[in-house]
Amino acid sequence: MFKQSLYQLKKPITITTAAMYIAIYVVLYAVKIPLALESRVSVTFLPLVASAYLMGPVTAMIVGAIGDILSAVFFPSGQYFPGFTLSAVMNGLIYGIFLYRANTHIRLRSLISTIIIILLVNVVLNTLWLAILYQKAFVFYLVSRFVKNIIVFPVQVIGTILCIRLHNRTGITKYYL
């Protein structure tokens, strides 16, 4: 899987599509929906899903890393912390593992990948990054981040499924086989 995904990077269409998804990631980063104090919802997972589905985990990790760094440069919301870039890379990896060239069980794959991302990356890792960055106890952020991610979970699963269906419907997937 990783070898095929790495091979995709040799194709010009992959590089240009990845650049487009990075640009979309940066634009979507600027659009945040506030849930509560210090809690916002972002849809930057959509370009990661699309790049993971079409081009695999390697490209999705690159899109996540570059997208997060450029987002921090163009739309800073506090100081830059490399842990969040690592989280974006992990999101691309997990989506890539579950969604790359997935022709069957899209709903189940979307559900499992979203559960892993929410629990491992969003709740555990991002809470750890916040605790390190702002020097507060891990538990201080854990409850609010868990509640936020429970609310966001159905949005991410439905968004992931719709994103994949849209790519299948447009016929773009035939260029990446």
Residue 29 three-state SS: helix
Residue 88 half-sphere exposure, CB side, CA atoms within 13 Å? 29
Distance, CA of 70 to CA of 68 (rounded, Å): 6
What is the pTM for the complete model shown?
A: 0.90
Classify the phi-psi angles of 104: left when phi > 0, otherwise alpha if psi is within -120 to 50, otherwise beta: beta
Burial 14-39 (b: 16+ CB within 10 A, else e): beebbeebbebbbebbeeeeeeeeeb
Summarize pLDDT for 63-88 with one digit per residue, the tens. Answer: 999 999 999 999 988 889 999 999 99
- Residue ranges of domains in the chain, CATH in brackets: 2-176 (1.10.1760.20)
Query: Tell me: the pLDDT tens digits for 28-61?
Result: 999 888 776 566 778 999 999 999 999 999 999 9
